[in-house]
Structure 1
Amino acid sequence: MMNQEEAIEILKKNYPKTAKKVDGIYVGGFDDVDCEFGQALTIAISSLTKQIPKLVERSKK
């Protein structure tokens, strides 16, 4: 079974991609963190990252 850290890494690898103009030429492969799905992924990753220490703390009790 997958743990939280592995899930976060998979989410980070699945950002939608976009192209940007670099020196007048479009270059692709940049993470599109500004689109709606990219923003949702950023929020989900942030939430999971904050949740991990709390889960560890609860499991110790």
Structure 2
Amino acid sequence: MCAYLVVLDGSKVAPIFNRLERELEAMREKNNTIGRAKRLLENLAAPMQRDLLLTSQEQI
């Protein structure tokens, strides 16, 4: 939609288009970072849960 407006109105709306592109990229980067952190925690949690289970079974 924004690209369409830039083509129609030219340089008048180009700064808005540039700003929206930057904000969208920042949002994607933030989401990517959050996703990576969640995957890291999921990968770390599985061995920790397994170790806790083994430890609790050893105490029985």
TM range (shorter): 0.3 to 0.5
Larger helix fraction of residues: 2
Query: Normalization by structure 1: what TM-score?
Result: 0.39
Q: Which has the higher contact order (CA 8 A, sep 6+)?
A: 1
Query: Normalization by structure 2: what TM-score?
Result: 0.40
